[in-house]
Chain A
Amino acid sequence: MSNSMIIGQYIPGDSFVHRLDPRSKIAIIFFFVIIVFFANSVMSYGLLALFAIGSAATSRIPLSYIMKGLKPVWFLVIFTFLLHLIVTKQGEVLVSILGWEIYEEGLIQGAAISLRFFLLIMVTSLLTFTTTPIEITDAIEELLGPLKKVNFPVHELALMMSISLRFIPTLMQETEKISKAQASRGVDFRTGSFKDRVKAVIPLLVPLFVSAFKRAEELAMAMEARGYQGGEGRTKLRELHLGKTDVYLYILFILLVIGLFLTRS
């Protein structure tokens, strides 16, 4: 287990993107995900790519991090690209390899879908790179606020998320402690067959769960002792502020949407 207990992928910084209200970021990404599917011409894809690359550049997140963020989806991208290449049978035949004919349309569609994937991953990972998990939690609580009217437990959900975030490092430390304690009693986590190693995890998980439940109980009591009685009548220390930068972002995004619909074919 590593000592650097960074939760999520947040990279501290003070860029334009960092300073944006997390609500704005989530909303814009939500709409970006939708409009990506409206792009159908080279120009429209170009505009979207410009927006994504532009935001990545202003966030000053090193390119290597963004590439790392793309890593888990490479397989998916290549797979869908090949699928389109093979399945689509429209347009001119470009080449024929071992009896398989690659059509022009297949190449175009494959490329377009891959590009969409890249754009989506890039923009969403920018959110987690530039926003702390707690900011995201606050933003979600605010954005889901209207659902309180239909008795959706928005506050409770947000509290659950923030408590989970707070306890991740604690439970990680605990896991490390228990695994050392069990290793000293002869539990072997590293060698043996897959089945043996899975079995070795049980003496790790059982004490971890027992202690997590005990913690939960004590935490609940401590919260009650400090006057916690649900979201009703509660004030908040952490506040979200919509600033000028957010307005710029909205204008930019509206321009992007207009541009996109003008350049569609």
Chain B
Amino acid sequence: MKKCMLVIMVIVMTFCISLVALAGSEKETSGTAKEAAPVASDEPCVDEWVFSNLMFMTGGWAPYGEMIVWGMNEAIDEINAAGGIRGVPVRAEVYDTGTHQPELAVTQMAKVLDTKPLLIMGPHGSTDAEACSQLAYDEGVYMLQSTSSYDVAKKFRPWANVWLTNTEQFAKTTGQKWIEREPDIKSVVMFVQPEASTWYEQSKHQSNGLKAVGVKVLEEIAVTEAVDFSPLAVRALSHKPDGFVMYCYPEAMVKIVLELQKRGVKENRRFLFFHGAGTPEFWALGKGYLDGAYQWSIFNSQAKSQKWQKLADKFREDFDGEPNWTVPTDYDSMYLIKKCFEDLKITGCRDKLKEERVKIQKYMNNVDSFEFATMNIKIVDGEYKAPAFLYTIKGDKLENPINCGFEWK
């Protein structure tokens, strides 16, 4: 009994001491002054730029998070090898927001804000972004959400941006391009996993786009995590559709395709996958079964830039698979931050924190032209402008990209 009490007392005391320590330590990271020797007015005040990245590193979305962080670390290595940002080395701290854990996302965001950041990378998942973006918005800290959701980021403008173009436009256009290529498809069934608003919003817009060109959407079947997807396949086939559109986890997409193939769907051109496909898991499970199917994506896997070729080769080496849309997202974010800090001569001095945060926000919301790893992009009044692509799967790779792009004029 006494031992037990002692253990509890030790636990409680340790916790209280840690809490007090937490309360008293406002860890200063990106761009906060360390009261160093006086420097010229536009010289950096920091010994190291530390960028906080709120990322889903656990739960269902963790595989995506791992690849995004991998891309970011590659950019950091390259930037540091080339002398850092304004001569100061760069480092990133990744804060796990989990998958669909709003309480964790909010707490992690609060932790990041205590570090007095100049800007924040993430939050990345749409559910996390929905939960915790308000905090950064209230504090006036810019968020490079890169993968969250166009519609979520839009709600937090001018303090948030995402590397997704107007969902309504690209989801419509990519679906319509598919129909243009396969004009005999007159009706479809959509498989939608109500996992996150970003998937839902994309599927809704695509559904509207298909309807606009005379395609009947016979049913939107809700997909939940399951071992056996045959009931969903049977249900879809009962409508006798000409095509199938998928907005669900990569594993679910492949398993549904296999169930449909078992039941007589022989032509893969009848399948359209959304850009969440194309993960290593997707290719591994679907190896040899997906040739001829379509996938739309926001990234150009066929880009010829040296930057991309190098990054893609490194990815193949490390992951033994083809890179997908997640890989260049925070790689590009890091280079954009570099350009922003260099153009604005950001110092990271504490007395200029508010002023520099506003400068960064204004800069990031209007980028005239910037070379991302895979394509040239533009940001106009906080809206990211870049094309989306429709691919055909051939030899377990994305081939023949069709540019479903937008006019910038």
> Does B associate with A?
no
- A residues in contact (CB < 8 Å) with B: none
- B residues in contact (CB < 8 Å) with A: none
